[in-house]
A and B are shown apart, each in its own frame.
Chain A
Amino acid sequence: MLDILAYTFMQKALITGIAIGAACSMLGLFLVLKRYSLFGDALSHVALSGVAIGLFLNIYPLWTALLTSVTASLGITRLRHRIQGDALIAVLLIFGVAFAVLLISASGGFKVDLFSYLFGSITLISNEDALTAVIASLAIVASVLALKDKLFYMALDERQAKISGLNTMLLNYIFMIMASIMVIVAMRLVGILLVSSLIVLPNIAAMMLGRGFKATMLISLSISLASVISGIITSYYLNVATSGMIVMICIGIMVSIMVSKHLNTKRADALKSS
């Protein structure tokens, strides 16, 4: 069955996918805990306008996307105390799409290129892109590992963290820049429209299972990697879109955890009452 692993494009897709999946789930845990679950969506839609700028000006679109999403994330960090979080996310989301549509129409309509950004194209990724994605993902994983205790403290209680001597402002900026880089990298795997999936789904599922912080992080990582690997392989055999497959598998895992947890609680209740 695993003869497909002999294909270079498949090896490349799997290695890149695993790196991106790991980074998304690990950084994503803190986004979910900070109640920024939709933050990835906002950034990716702003990144869409960045892609449009790149296509319009004939610059490599990932660079312009990175520039716009980093700018947006720094803006969010600055404004988050003045405008309420979900409203801010909505504004960025709308702005990103509107501006992108304007630029795309001005440049003569949709091109095939754009679809790969919208829905991801991990199996078509170039060597350079794959390498950049892997390096960026590993850098994010390493940073999260180094900062995980501090980020966790801030997610739990930012004011306490500040009293304890943590430079919360600097940490927030670092965190947001990491998140915007992660969104651009994840775009290659699942596309702009599904970026939030890898950030949110494995973590929500893991939070249902893991009791403590470290266990939750590990479970989330396993769910993310399982979805990415099985999604890439099955999508090849079924000849369907990889991004959709990865996300559907992830949702499948989450729903099964929910259902089995529910059944377990019911069984325990029944045992108690009998």
Chain B
Amino acid sequence: MKDMAILKVRDLNVRYGSTSILENVSMDVEHGDIFGILGPNGAGKTTLFNSILMLQEHEGNVSIFGYSNNARRHVLPFIGYLPQRFSVDHNFPATVEDLIYTGLISVRYMQKNAHLLERNGYRWSYNPRLSNRERIDEVLRMVGLEHARGKRIGMLSGGELQRALIAKILVSRPLMLILDEPFTALDQDAQTRLLNILNTLNEEMGVTIILAAHDLMLLMKLAKHIACIDRRIFFHGSKAECMASDLLRLYSEHAMHMHMREHKEISTAGHVDSSISSSSSRSSSSNNSSRSTGY
């Protein structure tokens, strides 16, 4: 049964009032893939993820592990989701260990529903013999945070918090990861570290990874398939097809538009992040303010 896509999206539409956020989005993600979703800020990447994860009302059909629409609720816990933004007060009384432990709360529910995955040919590699402590140790090692086990999450650096959150989603051994802009707010070292972690997860544990980014160069390092989105899907294909296509050139042309949009958002959010993306795609120019739709 494994030949069917682990995630299938068909004619997904999302509207806020009369504004259309996503239009007829369709895509397939194969088991074991690293699927990159490329698009500028405001392109609807987060909305797409929210729709997949049933956090957002939408029209169209989404199926995960072979379960479509409402039936997919029971298999959602097998997806590890890393939101774009996770804010926590510095005095929130949770250590890294507490945070990771929350990832184990759903295990009983997952154990109950594991047969649903098996029925469709997927295997959940959760080892029931390990103790929770051993599990937490294991993921802490994986992300290189052994030293921070007892540290308050509010006191972690951006990169450490990101890794702690990844450890939290990994602890229940998800089959699929959905990562929303995981490289944003990470410096070069932290980016490389995260790239390595994701590669290892995919190669050694067969975890399917879907990640959104607005930096093509970073995605090219990691992804096997790429989809370009800006309300609609403009391109959907393998990395080789992506290289062969005009995408790179088109992306650079489109980039200044993205650049301007990002700048607008950065200034309103009061959040300056100069560490991300030093790629060539960020050429600056002064006259492009219209919402271009042609890749």
A-side interface residues toward B, CB under 8 Å? 29, 33, 149-150, 152-153, 156-157, 159-166, 206-208, 210-216
Contact = CB atoms under 8 A, between A and B. Distances in A.
Interface in B41-83: 53-55, 73-74, 76-77, 79, 81, 83
B93 A149 contact: no
A210 B92 CA distance: 10
B83 A212 contact: no
Contact of B93 (A163, A165, A166, A216): A216
Given A159-B83, A164-B77, A212 B109 contact: no
Interface stretch (B100-108, B139-147, B204-212, B269-277): B100-108
B88 interface: yes
A63 B196 CA distance: 61
A159 B102 CA distance: 13
Question: Most chain-B Cβ atoms within 10 A of its Cβ — which of A157, A206, A212?
Answer: A212
Interface in B116-167: 150-152
Contact of A165 (B77, B91, B95, B102): B77
B86 interface: yes
B150 A163 contact: no
B106 A164 contact: yes
Interface of B: 53-55, 73-74, 76-77, 79, 81, 83, 86, 88, 91-95, 97-99, 101-103, 105-106, 109-110, 113, 150-152
7 contacts: A29-B93, A33-B93, A156-B92, A163-B76, A163-B81, A208-B91, A213-B93
A195 to B, nearest CB: 22
Contacts of A153: 102, 105
B106 A152 contact: no
A227 B250 CA distance: 68
Contacts of A29: 93
B107 to A, nearest CB: 9
Given A211-B93, A211-B150, A213-B94, A149 B105 contact: yes
A157 B55 CA distance: 13
A163 B55 contact: yes
Contact of B152 (A149, A164, A165, A211): A211
A147 to B, nearest CB: 11
B92 A212 contact: no
Question: Most chain-B Cβ atoms within 10 A of its Cβ — which of A163, A210, A211?
Answer: A163
B101 to A, nearest CB: 7
Contacts of B109: 164-166
Contact of A156 (B81, B91, B94): B94
A156 B102 contact: yes
B91 A207 contact: yes
A212 B149 CA distance: 10
A101 B57 CA distance: 44
Contacts of A213: 93-95, 98
A29 B92 CA distance: 11
A210 B81 CA distance: 29
Nearest to A210: B93
A145 to B, nearest CB: 15
A223 to B, nearest CB: 14
A166 B106 contact: yes
Given A152-B98, A165-B73, A212-B93, 11 more contacts: A29-B93, A33-B92, A150-B105, A152-B94, A157-B102, A159-B55, A165-B109, A166-B105, A212-B150, A213-B94, A213-B95
Given A153-B105, A211-B95, A160 B81 contact: yes
Nearest to B91: A207
A152 B153 CA distance: 14
A162 B91 contact: no
Contacts of A159: 55, 83
Question: Most chain-B Cβ atoms within 10 A of its Cβ — which of A29, A164, A214?
Answer: A164
A152 B100 CA distance: 12
Nearest to B86: A157
A157 B84 CA distance: 13
B95 A156 contact: no
Contact of A149 (B55, B101, B150): B101
Contact of B97 (A33, A164, A165, A212): A212
Contacts of B91: 207-208
B94 A163 contact: no
Nearest to A157: B86
A149 B102 contact: yes
Contacts of B76: 163-165
